[in-house]
Amino acid sequence: MNRILYVFAIAVVMLASCGESMEKKAEVLLNEARNAYTAQDYGRSKGLLDSLKVAYPKAFKARRAALQLRRDVEMGEQLRSLRFCEEKLERLAARRDSLLPMFVLEKDGRYQDVGNYMIPSQTVKNNLNNTYLRAQVDEHGLVVLSSVYRGKALGHSGVRVSSGDSYAECEAPFNKYTSKHLGVTTERVDFRYGQDGGVMDFIASCDSPVTVCLKGKSEYKYTLRDADAAAIAHVLLLADVLRVITETTEMRDEALRHINFIERSNERHKNVESDTVAMSAD
């Protein structure tokens, strides 16, 4: 019996020694991770914490400390992302505000949550009898090109723009509208930017007169007004800024959600530790 107790005691001492050795080795990795965190090298810090978890699964003390450090690292990452987004949004807002004076915002609060920016020369009231291409961009950066035709019924759904031997064409509108008043037919077909076959980019980059060909039951051709070509180019400039603002705002909001989650997680762990201490005292 004494021999069994002796062997058991030796085993306990060896296990304790092994545990202490693992904790010491794990502590080395933990300190490296802390130093990387202090240097704001968050990627390296997370990599070291992952290595600690794999290499020393039974170094429980070090692993508990590593969990808190990981939350600190994630908080550092999100705060850095938040600062980046806020600084970028400030620059973008200044760029947007420099462009907006040349636009009008059409928005009816009764049924529109998002308004549309247009160049004044392209508004409906300024083109009651015109056949033209009109561009508008909503407040999130979504661009729509509308082909507006007035005359005898054409039934057009395709638009081809050309200059010399170069051209671009779109034939898949997402919306079509037709009306008739006093024998005059009004047709409007709408194309989203990115699904317009490069028509808007073609117009914006073209430095010579552009011919527009409306394709339906028959064809109707006209020369695009310089003012309309310039309006389309300006809309695309504003759209680029508004799209990046929308994307950056979403990134900022995502960072804020992560920050709130980490703060709640830290609060829960503090409460658990407080309860544990209180139970130990009892």
- Do 119 and 190 lie in one domain? The reply is yes
- Do 150 and 60 lie in one domain? The reply is no
Q: Are 133 and 146 in contact (CB under 8 A)?
A: yes
Is residue 173 over pLDDT 80?
yes
Least confident of 3-12, 65-74, 87-96: 3-12
Q: Is the dihedral of CA 190, 195, 196, 202 positive or negative?
A: positive
- Of the candidates 156, 153, 146, which has an alpha carbon nearest to the alpha carbon of residue 232? 146
Count of structural domains within the chain:
2
- Rounded to whole angstroms, the Cα distance separating 269 from 247 reads 33
- Give mean pLDDT, residues 168-178: 93
Least confident of 14-28, 52-66, 111-125: 14-28
Instruction: Answer yes or no: is 278 within a domain.
Output: no
Task: Give the Cα-Cα-Cα angle 15, 18, 19 (nearest 5 degrees).
Answer: 85
pLDDT in tens, 174-230: 999 999 988 899 999 999 999 999 999 999 999 999 999 999 888 999 999 999 999
- Do 143 and 23 lie in one domain? The reply is no
- Do 109 and 225 lie in one domain? The reply is yes
Between strands 211-215 and 184-192, the pairing is unpaired
Question: What is the model's pLDDT at position 183?
Answer: 87
* Residue reference for tokens 């030796």: 10
Mention every residue, 6+ apart, whose C-beta is less than 8 A from residue 125.
none
Kind and range of the H or E run holding 178: strand 175-181
Instruction: Answer yes or no: is 274 within a domain.
Output: no
Q: Are 178 and 186 in contact (CB under 8 A)?
A: yes
Question: What is the model's pLDDT at position 127?
Answer: 94
Question: What is the model's pLDDT at position 172?
Answer: 85
pLDDT in tens, 239-269: 999 999 999 999 999 999 999 999 998 888 7
Residue 119 in tokens: 């160049």
DSSP secondary structure, 204-243, as one string: HH--S--EEEEESSSEEEEEPPHHHHHHHHHHHHHHHHHH
- Rounded to whole angstroms, the Cα distance separating 145 from 151 reads 20
- Rounded to whole angstroms, the Cα distance separating 86 from 210 reads 41
Q: Is the dihedral of CA 157, 177, 129, 140 positive or negative?
A: negative
Question: What is the model's pLDDT at position 16?
Answer: 40
- Rounded to whole angstroms, the Cα distance separating 29 from 138 reads 52
Is residue 103 over pLDDT 90?
yes
Q: Which residues pair with 214 in a beta bridge?
A: 159, 220
Between strands 143-151 and 158-163, the pairing is unpaired
- What is the domain extent for residue 162? 103-246
- Do 66 and 132 lie in one domain? The reply is no
% of the chain exceeding 70 in pLDDT: 89
Last residue of a domain, one of 97, 114, 143: 97
Instruction: Answer yes or no: is 281 within a domain.
Output: no
- Do 37 and 66 lie in one domain? The reply is yes
- Do 108 and 242 lie in one domain? The reply is yes
At residue 106, the 3 state secondary structure works out as strand
Average pLDDT, the chain: 88
Band the pLDDT of 111: cuts 50, 70, 90: confident
Is residue 8 over pLDDT 60?
no
Looking at the chain, list the stretches that DSSP marks H as alpha helix, in order from N- to C-terminal side. 2-38, 42-55, 60-99, 199-205, 226-281
Is residue 136 over pLDDT 90?
yes
- Do 72 and 142 lie in one domain? The reply is no
- Do 59 and 118 lie in one domain? The reply is no
Q: Are 133 and 203 in contact (CB under 8 A)?
A: yes
- Rounded to whole angstroms, the Cα distance separating 279 from 282 reads 5
- Give mean pLDDT, residues 107-125: 90
Question: What is the model's pLDDT at position 281?
Answer: 46
